[in-house]
Amino acid sequence: MEHTSDVVAEGKVISETTYSRRSAQYTELDLGIAKIDFYDAKNKVVHEVKKSNKMEGAHEWQVKYYIFILEQQGVVGATGLLEYPKLKKTKEVTLSETDREFLRQTIHDIQTLVSSDNCPDLQKKTICKSCSYFEFCWSGELESVEG
Ligand code: SF4
């Protein structure tokens, strides 16, 4: 778990040093299947801090998923804010009906995959090296790294 721990620890250090008063303002929210580190309950805003120096679509989908789960648990009207301390940038995130449909379909596809008796074709990608799930993933057994 060293790989995962390092990635998580680095993000935690950046969050704590960049936003030292944050824990007093926002709530840590355990949703059961996901945990939101900084939730502004008063304004219903999910804050997600990224250590990355690149804004990525996957970051947006992470926050959209949090908003989606909040809705399922009765919190309507939440939005998100991605924060990139290294870039000194933020990006607002909202959840559209098209996003909801995409997430429903994706969750369905994942459930189908997980319950299948057949393992899908595996490919190790460059992104796997920084993935928090690397230790649990079959791709860790593969030799080559493709871009
Ligand atoms: S294939 Fe596995 S290690 Fe690579 S990004 Fe996906 S979950 Fe992470």
DSSP conformation letters of the chain? -HHHHHHHHHHHHHHHHHSTTHHHHSEEEE-SS-EEEEEETTTTEEEEE---SS--HHHHHHHHHHHHHHHHTT--S-EEEEEETTTTEEEEE---HHHHHHHHHHHHHHHHHHH-SSPPP---BGGGGG-TTGGGSGGGG-S--B-
Q: What is the pTM of this model?
A: 0.74
Q: Which of 113, 119, 128, 132 to mutate to test the pocket of ligand 1 (most atoms within 8 A of CB)?
A: 128
Per-residue pLDDT of the chain (147 residues), as tens digits, is 444 455 455 555 545 555 656 666 788 889 888 899 899 999 999 999 998 888 989 999 999 999 999 999 999 999 999 999 999 999 999 999 999 999 999 999 999 988 998 877 888 788 888 888 888 887 777 765 454
Which residue lies with its CA nearest to atom 2 of ligand 1? 137
